[in-house]
Structure 1
Amino acid sequence: MAGTVASLALTLCTLLSTAYCYNYSTERFRVPVDHFSFAVNDTFEIRYLVNADHWREDGGPIFFYTGNEGDITMFAENTGFMWEIAEKFKALIIFAEHRYYGESLPYGNNSYTEPKYLGYLTSQQALADYADLIKYLTANQTEYNKSPVIAFGGSYGGMLAAWFRMKYPHIVAGSIAASAPILQFTGLTPCEAFYRIVTSDFEAASSECSNSIRKSWKAINNVTSSDGGRAWLSSAWQLCKPLQKQGDVSALKDWLIDIYTNMAMLNYPYPTNFLAPLPAKPIKVACQFLPDSKQEEKPLLQSLFKAISVYTNYTGKTKCLDIGEDATSDLGERGWDFQACTEMVMPMCSDGRHDMFEKKAWDFTQYSDTCYKKWKVRPQPDLAVKIYGGKDISTTSNIIFSNGLLDPWSSGGVLRSMSTSVRAVIIPEGAHHLDLRASNPADPTSVIEARRAYQYFISTWIKQYRKQQTKKKRLLSRNTTE
């Protein structure tokens, strides 16, 4: 009966698209600030969310979400697949918060003040936090009856889920790594690939739409070249702060790039409220306002304002547009910006011909200088590849890399299976980790089939794990007898 009620609740949550649908308790676990040296003895608490409604404590699996760059409650409420299959597998659900995000701040309000406090924000340290947490959660289980751990994650969280299996195979039995761009690094993926996928999403909706956006950059430059033009655009676009100098115009264009990118990532087949309230297929909705790329500059920019309002003001409640607010502000942009300035250096560029953006080359020197100005650190572009292997992951096992072809991050994803146990799952109609979201009547067949495949592999990994545990137990018994 309890399972039926839970299933009904999940169905209602999905249909109503409401937040806070899932029940969990909030716990905290103390970890070292630095797992890898003996010079710093500071500790702090990471937050994690727990649901044990269906868990069979004598060895039922642990479904472990490797938290990424944001408040962990947001990921818990947008990763319905884990919740939906927990009853079938009798699993414990854990959502672990990434250090320096949400409430898991090592040095409280000082955490982001200077490198001596912020320098422990790395993927390696976060994975060590998760390893310690799992050891704690399974401490009371017998050595040969421990719960197999299945890691889940989307985007950066998907990268962590994959790397967790690679670096801690004795702790993690298998990983579902959704939309995980582990190849979006220097020398592995062409820098122009990301924005070409964004462009293809808009072109698929309408060639006039992508052409309108391509032409809009010149229109913005021309209109804002005078004080009167900047005043006109500030009024026409209802900007909270008027454009006064060239730096404001550059900020406006960066803001637009974020919007187009996010719309591509969130081009889901049903309404969502993940980064912003959005309709189903938001790119298609936005492109309805851009039917004619031959418009004069000011009419074109007026049409563009209506198109971007699908992202910035779909509810109609926003009174003015704040371009100083990053389009992904709720995802912990400060922490991710620091990570992008240290180990997560993901080169991106555009040429203005094969994509709908202004021409912009990848300039690592300029990028490094900008990072130093903001954070007093210099990026290490080869660090992630050196630590995790880049394309050389043939020795690992039990990882599913899934990528939706609507998702620009698929440019850096694993798109071909590496072996029988490191599989690539391609979802042609999928946007950013759509497969980890809750089931929805509008889900394309490719997503439904992908989720079935995941359950098959999860079952296989759990059987493998239990078989290994049984074998160890028999060997121990034999050695004890002898």
Structure 2
Amino acid sequence: MWGNANTKPLVIILLLTILILAIEAKIILRKFGPPPDDAPNARATRAPQWHTITQRVDHFNPRDIRTWEMRYISNDQFFVEGGPIFIYLGGEWQISAGSLMTGQIFDMAEQHGGMMYYTEHRYYGYSYPTEDMSTENLRYLSLDQAIADVVYFIQYVKANTPGFANSQVVVIGGSYSASMATWIRLKYPHIIDIAYASSAPVRAVADFYEYYEVVDHNIGLVSQECLNTIGEGIFQLEARLETDDGIAEMSQRLETCTTIQNVEPYRSFLFNIAIAEIFAGLVQYAGQTSIQDDCNLLLGFNGTSLDKLIGYVRDYYGNDCIDDYAEFIRMYSAVENTNDAWRPWLYQTCTEYGYYQTTTSDYQPFGNTFGLKFFVDMCTDLFAEDFGTTILDTGIIRTNIFYGSLTPEITKVVSVHGTVDPWHALGILEDLNPLAPAILINGTSHCADLSSIRDTDPPQLIAAKIRIQQLVSEWLLLN
């Protein structure tokens, strides 16, 4: 393993933890990333500690000796010698201490006398392998490099922590990091003993049209009137944008930062990132109660379907105006290292995963307003002229071949999805054996199973959380 861990602790008090969670919640409202943490468990009596560990910039080039500092968090509140090592894998977000003070990882560590860690993914949060995020430097942002970081981290802590000699390793992930948990168990079974993957999209695909089909289905289950109003509002908005007077009116009423340009890629940006993503985020992270609440809000505005749609959109944005494509590209073409996830995440989608949620299906309420070309052109505009269909398709083929897509040969991984979560369309593993079960939870959303068991959980979610804990317990006993 490379380098030494910085063991100087950062004292964290409860109020600071809550503040961090509140700040992160605003960031995680986007469709990527897991939901925000719950408040710390009442049994969390020890503050997690912050550390850094020295990693190689390029794990696969022995001639490249450059290194960088990866952040991670530890919590040894429940650890007893020989207990398992539970590692929550960071994904496309900034890690927080609160994640080791609640949730399934906290509960399972308590049950098994386990050690808890939370690792920060390269290029996210404050873990920077290079001096900036130029396209040239982002070549070191890849799945291969990221899971190698975790493997070297495990090797280091096992060699340098008393009581770890006989400890098994359990990796836990949510969303993209759940995919990582699945893939690291597949690629490094001699290092990783068990994987728990919550809402993992493991099949890379360019045109992920199924996403908005699931959004359509779940809004329609709650309120067909709500779904119809969204669709009619989009249709009426499209019609209004066909005239100069309509463009001027819609620019004023939607409160766009600049006058709407009804040409590509500005048009797709408006309908996708400015409007459709609001409903996507609602469904991805919401239960049916939350969808009903938002439908009631939308339908409560007076006037036509377009009036209701505009009222709902403006309620979401509050006092902020709606940016356009040029501003988006200007903002995320900046190469400075920041803890904003948009630039590095878009780079990963452009080179390895795709996952572009389009309206190429007829079974969604947003018309034919944004297709795959919009996203491919965004890759070109953000990174380089050659970042187009060839790089995207090559990366997707490579990811699916190297990591098994929906048919990996894998054991001791529990794959969990909620039926409300659109990502389950890319994550239901096929032909699994009893040592790799898939749990589909009816009526629940993205990563809902990662939280502790709560009295407010529906029965099917409680049953799933209990089953996850049982499986991990059984597999720990197998070794």
Question: Match for 2:99: what amino acid?
Answer: A
Give the equivalent residue in structure 2 for 1:276.
none
**1:286 maps to 2:286:** no
Whether 2:388 is the aligned partner of 1:388: answer no
Inter-CA distance 198–168: structure 2 relative to 1 (3 Å threshold):
same
Q: Does 1:305 align with 2:328?
A: no
* SS of structure 1 residue aligned to 2:70: strand
For residue 66 of structure 1, what is the aligned residue in structure 2?
A: 89
Match of 1:319 in 2: 319
Residue 290 of structure 1: how far off its partner (Å): 4.3
Partners of 2:467 and 2:399 lie apart in 1 by 29
Residue 113 in structure 1 maps to residue 113 in structure 2: no
Relative to structure 1, is the Cα distance of residues 59 and 175 closer, same or farther in structure 2, using a 3 angstrom cutoff?
same
1:470 counterpart residue number: none
Per-residue deviation, 1:211: 1.4
Relative to 1, partners in 2 of residues 1:223 and 1:77: Cα closer, same or farther, differing over 3 Å?
A: farther
Q: Does the CA contact (< 8 Å) of 1:403 and 1:415 recur in 2?
A: no
Is 1:432 matched with 2:446? Answer: yes
Partner of 1:475: none
Q: In the alignment, which residue of structure 2 is the partner of 1:250?
A: 268
- Which runs of structure 2 are paired with 1:222-261 in the superposition (5 Å)? 222-243=239-260, 246=263, 248-254=266-272, 255-261=274-280
2:68 to 44, 53, 57: 44
| Greater Cα offset, 424-433 or 451-460 | 451-460
**SS of corresponding position for 1:49:** strand
- 1:259-408 counterparts in 2 under 5 A? 259-268=278-287, 281-291=289-299, 299-308=304-313, 312=316, 318-324=318-324, 332-346=341-355, 348-351=357-360, 353-359=362-368, 363=372, 367-376=375-384, 377=387, 378-379=391-392, 380-393=395-408, 395-408=409-422
Structure 2 residue identity aligned to 1:288:
N
Deviations 1:347-384 (A, max 9, x none): 544346322122268657x7545423321243222011
Q: Secondary structure at the match of 1:346?
A: strand
Cα distance between partner residues in 1 of 2:218 and 2:294? 12
Which residue in the other structure is 1:275 paired with?
none
Counterpart Cα distance in 1 of 2:97 and 2:242: 41
Render the CA deviation track for 1:180-213: whole Å, top value 9, x for unaligned.
Answer: 0102436xxx843221111111101211111121
Distance 1:69 1:125, change over 3 A: same
Query: Is contact 1:183–1:413 with CA below 8 Å preserved after alignment?
Result: yes
Q: 2:55 aligns with which of 31, 52, 68?
A: 31
- Higher alpha-carbon deviation: 207-216 or 78-87: 78-87
Cα separation, 2, equivalents of 1:75 and 1:201: 31
For the 8 Å contact 1:227–1:244, the answer to whether it is kept is no
Distance across 2 between alignment mates of 1:442 and 1:143? 38
Match of 1:457 among 471, 475, 478: 471
SS in 1 for 2:145: helix
In the alignment, is residue 169 of structure 1 matched against residue 189 of structure 2?
Answer: yes
In structure 2, what is the Cα distance between the partners aligned to 1:227 and 1:332? 36
Letter matched to residue 365 of structure 2? M
User: What letter matches 1:319 in structure 2?
Assistant: N
- The alignment yields a C-alpha RMSD, in angstroms, of 3.2
- Asked if 2 retains the 8 angstrom alpha-carbon contact of 1:416 and 1:423, the reply is no
2:82·2:167 contact (CA, 8 Å) conserved in 1?
A: yes
| 2:177 matched residue in structure 1 | 157
Is 2:234 aligned against 1:217? yes
User: Hey, what's the Cα distance between the residues in 2 that align with 1:75 and 1:215?
Assistant: 42
Distance, in Å, in 2 between the alignment partners of 1:210 and 1:157 is: 31
Could you tell me how far 1:97 is from its partner in structure 2?
Answer: 0.4
Q: Is the 8 A contact 1:51 1:94 kept in 2?
A: yes
Structure 1: runs of 5 or more not aligned: 1-5, 270-280, 466-482
Q: Distance in 2 between matches of 1:196 and 1:89?
A: 41
Deviation at 1:164, TM superposition (A): 1.1
**Alpha carbons of 1:167 and 1:143: their partners in 2 closer, same or farther (altered >3 Å)?**
farther
Among candidates 112, 125, 150, match of residue 130 of structure 1: 150
Distance (whole Å) between structure 2 residues aligned to residue 143 and residue 165 of structure 1: 23
1:404, distance to aligned residue in structure 2 (A):
0.1
Structure whose CA Rg is larger? 1
CA distance in 1, matches of 2:370, 2:311: 29
Partner of 2:124: 101
Task: State the one-letter code of the partner of 2:306.
Answer: L
| Percent identical residues | 26
- Given that 1:401 and 1:424 are in contact with CA atoms closer than 8 Å, whether structure 2 keeps it comes out as yes
Alignment-derived partner of residue 273 in structure 1: none
Deviation at 1:334, TM superposition (A): 1.2
Shift in alpha-carbon separation, 1:35–1:248, aligned structure 2, 3 A: same
Corresponding residue for residue 468 of structure 1:
none
Task: Tell me, in whole angstroms, the C-alpha distance in 2 between the residues paired with 1:259 and 1:75.
Answer: 26
Which of 63, 85, 103 is the aligned partner of 1:80? 103
Take 1:149 and 1:399, find their aligned partners in 2: how far apart are those partners?
A: 12
Other-structure match for 2:425: 411
Rounded to whole Å, the distance in 2 between the matches of 1:128 and 1:79 is 27
Aligned residues: 424
Unaligned runs of 5+ in 2: 1-13, 22-36, 333-338
